[in-house]
Structure 1
Amino acid sequence: MNSILVGVCGWGDHDDLYPPGTSSKDKLPIYTGYFPIVELDSTYHAIASSERMEQWVQATPDSFQFVVKSYRELTGHGRKQGAPIRSWKDNVLEMRASLLPMKKAGKLAAVLFQFPPWYDCTAAHVKYIRKVREAFRDFPVAIEFRNRTWFDSSYRDKTLHFLEQEQLIHVVCDEPQAGIGSVPIVPKVTNTDLSIVRFHGRNVEGWNNTGRPDWRDVRYAYRYSDEELNEWIVHIKQLQQNANQVILLFNNNSQGDAVDSANKMICKLGLDYLDLSPRQLEIL
């Protein structure tokens, strides 16, 4: 498997990948003709059944990989209105059962636990992350922080050491520097098996909730310039030296820019994926 995998977050919303009128069920097989990995983010809103996960396993090439986003109640985001009321243990058991088909198929790159902007660096939150690590001890677990306190000068090294001790994968972020609810670029490896980078864009104005009704739609509206992507080449090479594999995921898709950014990065890194699905139609 290539030591650097590049993909985007979700496969349903990238209209420039699909012929007009493509049904939802046909999008993933087409997606796998362009990228070797995807972030499965619908699992943040609802835990997918193991049957559904098995369908996605069967719809992808043998080498294809998924980064699966953890259910929102397991990362402190609370219960979605209308969602069933379940205990923490029940959510863990259901999430674990959901992940098994991908794990058994060798297609589960990591389970992504993305904590909210208010999830600051406290002893209670450290204890909770240890609880998550124990509950998913036999899964590759990636941790993404969105509160700057984890990387303040007095906590940065301690945070990285904690992740390393627990064999957790530190998710490196490229995102707007927009106050306490954002984190700086910290290109460090805490688990030698894998490093993950998520590119959220640099839309400073749209990052924080300003009361706009379309805030979530514009938050990730950003197209990376060539110069901004070039800045990352050194970081990626550094991560590659310390991890067996590096995964780059582009989430800057509020206005459909993620595929463009991902393809540019593939070109800049000189990557050539030989085990993609055959393309039925050359669109890009």
Structure 2
Amino acid sequence: MGAIEVGTASWTDRTLLASGWYPASADSPEKRLAYYAKQFPVVEVDSTYYGPPAEQTTKLWAERTPSNFTFNIKAFSLLTGHPTKVSAIYKDLRPETDKKNIYPDDLPPQAYEEVWSRFLSALTPLAEAGKLGALLFQFPPWFGIRKSNKEYLLEVAARCTPLRPVFELRNASWFEGANRNETLDFLRNHKLPFVCVDMPQGHKSSVPPIVEATADIAVVRFHGHSDKWTSKDIHEKFGYRYSPAELEAWAPQLKTLADKTDKTQVFLNNCYEDYAQRNASALIELLAD
């Protein structure tokens, strides 16, 4: 069985800081990251979706964690075709526009290329320290199955080489009927890692929890099952605590998945108070049995 790493999608959420999960002695960003890294071997950095990281920041992350710790990085929103705040773009690359949000086509091609270059370059300290895991490319709900989108997945993989992108598809058309096997076969044929998601069902953005490996690494993300999934309040959306029974049902599935990969990464993204951290710790215990 391949290794299974379990972590969470945040270590700095304000509700987590207020929850009491961190000891009083962890009273600075440096100490909190150090404490987190003693509990879990991996973390997913989601803040990089909202704004690209500075190289100095990733250098500090590398310096403040043990040698065997891993950071997965969520791709900047502009690189996955999501609406992106103009204020989140590098200052010298911001277009002159009255729009609050822009898309890739709103940038000149040269500026778009520069965003890619700077985003990947900022991860160099983590890569050089051996602490950079996968790059999460989570695509928007309107990114459905079609030839041009498959080609973009290949383009992302090429742009990221030698770094490893993993792909979270949030449009159900990829998995409807015969499309499911077509999608998984496409990913396997090109050695593109698939991200399985556990999330509320019955919504436009819902995709089924397909536990499959398509490359030598697999990623599973737990979004919870909040009945307020469509809320604009991120804590209402992700404020869900998995029950022991739910986690127990997942443990054998994760072990089976790990049998098919060199490494399986599992992230609890139910980031409200200490829900994710408590659930991640419980899952680690279940996987150890």
Normalising by the residue count of structure 2, what TM-score does the alignment of the two structures yield?
0.86
Q: Which residue of 2 aligns with 1:74?
A: 79
SS at match of 2:34: helix
Deviation at 1:173, TM superposition (A): 0.7
Residue of 221, 225, 233 corresponding to 2:243: 225
Residue of 256, 265, 268 corresponding to 1:247: 265
Deviation at 1:97, TM superposition (A): 0.3
Count matched residues.
264
Residue of 41, 50, 54 corresponding to 1:36: 41
| Overall identity of the aligned pairs, in % | 33
Structure 1, residues 212-263: CA drift from partner, whole Å, max 9, x if none? xx53221111111111111112211111110011111001123431011101
Work out the CA distance in 2 between the residues paired with 1:64 and 1:268. Answer: 21
Q: What letter is aligned with 2:138?
A: Q
Q: Which residue of 2 aligns with 1:258?
A: 276
Does 1:200 pair with 2:223?
A: yes
Work out the CA distance in 2 between the residues paired with 1:29 and 1:162. Answer: 40
Work out the CA distance in 1 between the residues paired with 2:250 and 2:243. Answer: 11
Deviation at 1:116, TM superposition (A): 1.4
Does 1:108 pair with 2:132?
A: yes
Q: What letter is aligned with 2:3?
A: S
Residue of 158, 177, 181 corresponding to 1:153: 177
Q: Which residue of 2 aligns with 1:17?
A: 21
Gaps of 5+ in 1: 272-284
Does 1:55 pair with 2:60?
A: yes
Q: What letter is aligned with 1:107?
A: K
Work out the CA distance in 2 between the residues paired with 1:179 and 1:255. Answer: 25
Q: Is the 8 A contact 1:142 1:168 kept in 2?
A: yes
Q: Is the 8 A contact 2:255 2:287 kept in 1?
A: no
Work out the CA distance in 2 between the residues paired with 1:8 and 1:261. Answer: 9
Q: Is the 8 A contact 2:21 2:274 kept in 1?
A: no
Supply the RMSD in Å over aligned alpha carbons: 1.7
Q: What letter is aligned with 2:249?
A: E
Residue of 90, 95, 111 corresponding to 2:119: 95
Work out the CA distance in 2 between the residues paired with 1:26 and 1:81. Answer: 33
Q: Is the 8 A contact 1:148 1:179 kept in 2?
A: no
Work out the CA distance in 2 between the residues paired with 1:78 and 1:134. Answer: 23
Structure richer in helix, relative to its length: 2
Q: Which residue of 2 aligns with 1:279?
A: none
Q: What letter is aligned with 1:79?
A: T
Work out the CA distance in 2 between the residues paired with 1:152 and 1:180. Answer: 13
Does 1:236 pair with 2:236?
A: no
Work out the CA distance in 1 between the residues paired with 2:73 and 2:45. Answer: 5
Q: Is the 8 A contact 1:149 1:180 kept in 2?
A: no
Gaps of 5+ in 2: 95-106
SS at match of 1:110: strand
Work out the CA distance in 1 between the residues paired with 2:201 and 2:250. Answer: 16
Q: What letter is aligned with 1:76?
A: G
Q: Find runs of 4+ consecutive structure 1 residues off by over 6 angstroms.
A: none
Deviation at 1:137, TM superposition (A): 2.2
Work out the CA distance in 2 between the residues paired with 1:254 and 1:118. Answer: 27
